[in-house]
Amino acid sequence: MKKKLPWLKYDAKKEQFQKVQEEEKIFKKKMDDAAKIWQDAKAPIEGLKKEKTTITSSMKKITNQINQNTNKRREVTDDEIQLSARLKTTLDDIEHLKRHEKNLQQKISKAKEGLAAAEREFQDLQPYEPPRDEMTQLTNDIGHKICGINDLKQRRKEKEWQLSQERENLRKCSDRLMQMESKNNKLLQALQRAGAERINEAYSWVQNNKNMFRGEVYGPVLLEVNVQSKTHAGYLESHVPNYIWRSFITQNASDRDLLVRQLKQYGTPILNYTGGNSIMCEPLNITPEMKQLGITSRLDQEFDAPPAVKNVLITQASVDQSYIGTNQADQSADDVVKLGINDLWTPRNHYRWTRSRYGGHLSANVDSIYPSRLFMCDVNVSDIEMLRSEKDEHTRNVEGMEEALKELQKEQRKLEDEEAEFRKKKEAIADRVRLEKKKREDIQRRIGMVFFSLFFCM
């Protein structure tokens, strides 16, 4: 059975194949019949296609011709529009040229008229000659005035220099006169004449360097003491040693050392006082017995001074032990010593009593009274008068020079005004010459411009 099965399948497939072949033949026959029918029906369709092709070709030719005609008509229309525009433009240009020609003719006419007027105006101008002689004269006058001004300036400069010198001399003379007339300078000069030759320099150094001191510095002592009575001034001056009057007083050891170093070159003594500010003396007590003998006061009561200065005079010169009396005291001098007074000043004499250390007996010393040379010093009147005369002369010279300067200034101002007037005249002439020249140049320029415009117009 297994062996027959493939053949059975083969026979089945073969039978199926044969059926298909039979069906193919049937369908082929049907196709042939259909093709024959198609061929029979195709002949009229081909005729219609040929006819359609012919009609389509004819229509295409007609359409192309219509398009060509339309394009030609459009081109003709465009050409017509362009020609119309060109015609209008040409007509406008013709009108513009006509107007331009008319205006040009008018301009030419006006230019010719302007040229004729300018030529007439140029011909009518009078020949102008610059006033050279007047200008030369004005230039010379200005030169002379400038020379005069420069000369006056030089003279003023010299006069101002002389005036400054004279003013300086007047100032120095006034300063010297003021110094001679001032109290302190008189006292310093008195010390100078008494032997303290460089006391002025020492005093100036102390005054200029007060900031270097730790305490108050007094001096010279003569300048610190004020005595109202000439008589008492003579007593005090004679009683106090001379070195004290030119001494400086310090109240601090460092100040003393500083002054010793700085004032050594001037030969000025330095005294250092370290006490207080109270006066170290007993109050004045004039007893009835003293009054009866003519004793009126004590030397330390007759002058004023700073406490330090007064205490130095008390300690160094014992001014609190010296009494002052009248002529009656002079006559009763032998009785005065009995009151315990060892130093007495009277209008006539100076009495000093000393007691011997060994025997206890008294010895008297009587000196004559001399007027004060330091306190009541008078500067040489002739020197002051000479300085005053010199000052007056300098003052007159200054005033005279100032007046002369004013006159020179007036003269210079006058010359400057005259020189300015000459310059003004010269500038006026120069302006007139420039105006005439400018007028001619303007006319010539107008003529040239008219010629130039005519040249372009033609």
- Contacts for 426 with CB less than 8 Å, ≥ 6 apart: 135, 138, 139, 142
pLDDT at 141: 83
pLDDT at 381: 47
State the residue for tokens 């310059």.
Answer: 423
- Phi, psi (deg, nearest 5) at residue 98: -65, -45
Domain boundaries, the chain: 24-62, 132-175+384-432, 195-372
The answer, yes or no, to whether the previous bond of 241 is cis (omega within 30 of 0) is no
User: Cβ(252)–Cβ(260) under 8 Å?
Assistant: no
pLDDT at 139: 84
Number of other residues whose CB lies within 10 A of the CB of residue 269: 19
Q: Which tokens go with 38?
A: 């198609």
SS (H, E, C) the chain: CCCCHHHHHHHHHHHHHHHHHHHHHHHHHHHHHHHHHHHHHHHHHHHHHHHHHHHHHHHHHHHHHHHHHHHHHHHHHHHHHHHHHHHHHHHHHHHHHHHHHHHHHHHHHHHHHHHHHHHHHHHHCCCCCCCHHHHHHHHHHHHHHHHHHHHHHHHHHHHHHHHHHHHHHHHHHHHHHHHHHCHHHHHHHHHHHCCCCCHHHHHHHHHHCHHHCCCCCECCHHHHCEECCHHHHHHHHHHCCHHHHCCEEECCHHHHHHHHHHHHHHCCCEEECCCCCCCCCCCCCCCHHHHHHCEEEEHHHCEECCHHHHHHHHHHHCHHHCEEECHHHHHCHHHHHHHCCCEEECCCEEEEEEECCCCCCEEEEEEECCCCCCCCCCCCHHHHHHHHHHHHHHHHHHHHHHHHHHHHHHHHHHHHHHHHHHHHHHHHHHHHHHHHHHHHHHHHHHHHHHHHHHHHHC
Residue type, 87: L
pLDDT at 14: 83
Q: Which tokens go with 396?
A: 């007159």
C-alpha 305/C-alpha 56 separation (Å) is 160
Residue type, 299: L
Strand order of the sheet with strand 323-325?
295-298, 323-325, 343-345, 349-355, 362-368
Q: Tell how strand 303-304 and strand 349-355 pair up.
A: unpaired
User: Cβ(408)–Cβ(110) under 8 Å?
Assistant: no
C-alpha 31/C-alpha 21 separation (Å) is 15
Q: CA neighbours within 13 Å on the CB side: how many for 21?
A: 6
State the residue for tokens 């008390």.
Answer: 314
pLDDT at 22: 86
**CA 277 vs CA 103, 216, 451: distances in Å:** 121, 12, 115
Q: CA neighbours within 13 Å on the CB side: how many for 214?
A: 8
Q: Which tokens go with 36?
A: 């024959």
- Contacts for 15 with CB less than 8 Å, ≥ 6 apart: none
Indicate if the alpha-carbon torsion angle 407, 409, 415, 421 is positive or negative. Answer: negative
Residue type, 150: N
Q: What is the residue-level pLDDT of the chain in tens, covering all 458 positions?
A: 566 677 777 888 888 888 888 888 888 888 888 888 877 777 777 777 787 888 888 888 888 888 888 888 888 888 888 888 888 888 888 888 888 878 877 777 777 777 677 666 666 666 666 677 777 887 888 888 889 889 988 988 998 899 899 999 989 888 877 766 677 788 888 899 888 999 999 999 998 999 999 999 998 999 889 888 889 999 999 999 999 999 999 999 999 999 999 999 999 999 999 887 888 788 889 999 999 999 999 999 999 999 999 999 999 999 999 999 999 999 998 888 889 899 999 999 999 998 877 766 788 899 999 888 888 765 444 566 687 788 889 899 989 989 988 998 898 898 889 888 888 888 888 888 788 777 777 767 776 776 666 665 55
